[in-house]
Structure 1
Amino acid sequence: MHQKQRTAPRRRTILAAAVLGVIAVGASGFYFWNQSPLGPGLSESKIRGILVDAMATPTNAPGSACVNVVGVRPLPTDVYTAFLDEQDKIVQGLIKHGLITVKRVSASGDGSPPQPDEKPEDASSRMELTEKGRAYYTDGEALIGSKLVYTAKFCAPGLQVGRILDYSKPGKNPFDDNPNAVSAVKFEWRLDRATADWAADPAFYPQISGFPSKHEPDEWQTRHIMLERKNGVWGLGDRPYTIRW
């Protein structure tokens, strides 16, 4: 009799403990889901994780971590030699570090050697990526005066993400027709000469200017970037450095 009376409370205790365990596991699972890129919410730690992952791809870096060769269509391509001569310091730096190859070709565009009767202003060169260069290259555009021109853009590796200084509450941008939730984020970043490889070459300064100075080794750059929740996953938005509000 007494054994049966003791058994019932014990069962209730075990059941209550099991329920609490399920609730705890569920709450923990919800937290990690919410803090993952799949979750709807944002926090400083979640944003920082997204940016660290994104910046592992050099071409996601801010413009100050990149160098441009202006007047170059998407590679491989023929380009006026005069354009390259005007940017010789940068071009030679990219060649020296094994990111591109450049050779003189005929202005006819057929890849043949240059012809002796070509006009100097028609002189052309063939620019191509090397296997190493592919990891750092993207085609871009630059506004020169009132004209938008093609650029060959090479971005530094090893970018470090610092603090998340501010971010807007996730929501739809009222100034465009994008239906996705977005957030404008202000964050710290910098380059490290120890991990920047070719980009630490002074030949690329001042285009690449994300390194701390000798006088301020703890210096950070700041930048705004747009995050967007596409198909239920948070990541960089389209044209992430264009804040559209």
Structure 2
Amino acid sequence: MNGILYGAGVGPGDPELMTLKAVRLIKENEIIALPGPAAKETVAYQIAVKAVPKLAEKTLLSVDMPMTHDKEEMHLNHEKAADAIEAYLKQGQNVVFLTLGDPTIYSTYLYVQKRILARGYEAELVSGITSFCAAAARTCTSLAEWDEQLHILPAVHKLNSDLSLPGNYVLMKSGKKMHQVKEILKSSGRKVVMVENCGMENEHIYRSAEEIPDDAGYYSLIIAKEPGGGHD
């Protein structure tokens, strides 16, 4: 029998926010895939090993999928990742692929899963706490109340947005475009909070668009709320 691929979310950064299921799968399986050129240097590993110290003794599979806008290079990297994982699956070994947050939200894991499923193997998704839910909890902020809408945007791809739809916004993946994102936030008139590296040792919280540094890190999550929003 072939092995099963598990895409397991490890949450946003705090190892105490990992699910019991993700912890169990790590303990029960030998092959653990991690997204990066060096498995033990990945953020996902550094989170998970604090919850499951025995992870350090597992067979770690480094799956390097560097971020690029070159679709041909991206496709090639995803194929290489699927090949590496398939080598274990066809031997009957399960592979647990650890990914930040939840594997269904802007996760590169999904591109690998599509290829594994297309090759006739079985795959399962294991939910993890999302970065925006963790950031909202960390700042005691509601994401949506009563009949409010919630819009989740990959900010780096939506720099033409004016955030004019009713409801609240979550802006992810601001990356190197933080300066432009800040200008959009200032123009929107919305109440802004950002958490950088939520749940990690170098966590920072910013309570306005003006406070956010232009060089904020990759793991930065912005919540932009309508003024006077919510329900009493």
- TM-score over 0.5 for the pair: no
If the length of structure 1 is used for normalisation, what is the TM-score?
0.24
TM-score by length of 2: 0.25
